[in-house]
Structure 1
């Protein structure tokens, strides 16, 4: 690069005048030629020029450093891909995008191109989280391969697109491979639906739900929001009072207390409380789960359980 600059200076002196004493190329054009030569030098030399240019520009480093399950709903699962970018330069840079391809069991599951606008300060490291949505229709194509398995090999590869001073958009290839556990979603069922207290204006209930954990690791139910509907009428909403640990390959019990007011629901509830006839129920909500690992942490899982319960 230094030899290129010296050559340009010599070239600049030679073209300042002709035999007639008139400038062949103006000083303004000389600056443009110089800028063009510097750009071409960077473009041709690539990463090596960035490191050895003498201008203090060092190639940033990028890597995929995490893969975790963010959330699950009835349509798709969201996976967070963590991309780390190290910028050792004295100027800040920005992450402009990330294109990727995800393979499970050696078969391409999906690909995408995610635009980003994340700043990485000078002399610092920044982590960008890229949410990747996997629909169940995509997963169904691999259902036979994944059936009965507790884990699956994965490979994710792509390019981190950086916006660098002078250079512009610069892509760094990244990849990561390993083994992902296939989480088994907890199974919920009604253990009991009991009346705790009956008063003149309302009644208190205690609903107990049994939760089966078929995973090879403990699950912590950190929270739960729910809505209880009985015979088509909402009987109550609420949240879990305290966390419940589900041992690996074991069960746990969620205790859900709630109260109803006769004036809100109607006197038909008195008929249920006094008689032995059954009733239809529909319990839905979300569980907040933590598997104690990077793959399954603070995951919101929707649930719904409905059926018919014998009388109280």
Structure 2
């Protein structure tokens, strides 16, 4: 009889110890989540989207992206994904693998080249209309590798108008 009571007391003590350990782990987890949430993170913005050139394959546009790094060490950029839309449909998309890294405690300018095939531009004739421009939406995902956190995606979106090249632009 005494043996059963002793094992019951030990079982309750172990159960209470496990509950206290669980509470301690929950507090530690909440502390880490709060600290990570409040950490400064890199911020980005699209500063310009403009005509770059014409080739046999299509028309090239260049998006300039400004990314600020709040940390003193460089941060590697894993990849940049982009989607270029006009008239409600995607006209170009792609991925730029390993485009470099962000300078420590500085702002880095990234160039994202978008190539739109000529055949797609011809199918957008209604949107181009009399003003000879394309209404566009550029969606970018900058995927960077933050220490401790891991891969972190900065989503960007830019809407605007781009003038199509004229003959003088092509031969200038």
TM-score by length of 1: 0.42
| 2:125 corresponding residue in structure 1 | 143
Q: Secondary structure at the match of 2:130?
A: coil
Which of 146, 165, 175 is the aligned partner of 2:147? 165
Partner Cα distance (1:116, 1:139) in 2: 29
8 Å Cα contact 1:51/1:59 also seen in 2: no
8 Å Cα contact 1:66/1:82 also seen in 2: yes
1:50 paired with 2:36, answer yes
Q: 1:49: Cα distance to partner?
A: 4.2
Partner Cα distance (2:101, 2:94) in 1: 21
Q: Secondary structure at the match of 1:65?
A: strand
TM-score by length of 2: 0.72
User: Which has the larger strand fraction?
Assistant: 1
| 1:124 corresponding residue in structure 2 | 106
Partner Cα distance (1:50, 1:176) in 2: 28
**TM-aligned CA distance change 1:150 to 1:117, over 3 Å:** closer
Partner Cα distance (1:154, 1:67) in 2: 10
Any gaps of 5 or more consecutive residues in structure 2?
A: 1-13, 15-24
User: Which has the larger helix fraction?
Assistant: 2
Aligned length: 147
Larger RCO, structures 1/2 (Cα 8 Å, 6+ apart):
2
Larger Rg: 1
Name the Cα RMSD after superposition.
2.7
Q: Secondary structure at the match of 1:50?
A: helix
Partner Cα distance (2:37, 2:97) in 1: 27
Q: Secondary structure at the match of 1:148?
A: helix
Q: Secondary structure at the match of 2:121?
A: helix
